[in-house]
């Protein structure tokens, strides 16, 4: 298990790397949501291409909210706690917005919803 200090250090390193690469959120399209929902309906956890930005906020993007999501994938429909399941998360996605990982722990992640400004 990772200590809080180790998680914070890792997230700082991720933010520095994202800034150096000028990473940006992944803009979700309607067909992405459809493809990921279809995958879940077949019992397969979809591979979601959201970059990990850590605390880095890319120029031209505004963070609107953070979604707390289970990343274990053990149960696609019920995360069994305060984190959203992957199915709940896919249902919450809004095409046209950008999404990226903004904080990561061993079992859950915060995914930021971004708007281009």
Nearest to 113 by CA among 46, 47, 68, 59: 68
What's the whole-model pTM score?
0.88
CA atoms within 13 A on the CB side of 93: 27
| Domain spans, the chain | 4-116
Return the pLDDT at 59.
94
- Going residue by residue through the chain, which has 117 residues, state the pLDDT in tens, using 9 for 90 and above: 677 788 778 878 888 999 999 999 999 999 999 999 999 999 888 888 999 999 899 999 999 999 999 887 666 666 567 888 889 999 999 999 999 999 988 888 999 999 999
Q: Find tokens 């309906």 and name the residue.
A: 41
């Amino acid at each position: 298990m990772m200590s809080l200090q180790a998680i914070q250090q890792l997230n700082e390193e991720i933010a520095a790397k994202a800034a150096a690469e000028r990473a940006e959120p992944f803009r979700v399209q309607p067909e992405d949501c459809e493809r990921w929902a279809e995958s879940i309906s077949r019992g397969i956890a979809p591979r979601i291409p959201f970059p990990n930005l850590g605390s880095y906020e890319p120029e031209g993007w505004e963070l609107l909210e953070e979604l707390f999501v289970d990343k274990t994938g053990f149960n696609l429909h019920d995360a069994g706690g305060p984190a959203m399941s992957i199915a709940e998360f896919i249902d919450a996605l809004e095409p046209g917005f950008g999404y990226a990982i903004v904080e990561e722990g061993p079992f859950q992640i915060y995914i930021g919803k971004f708007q281009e400004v």
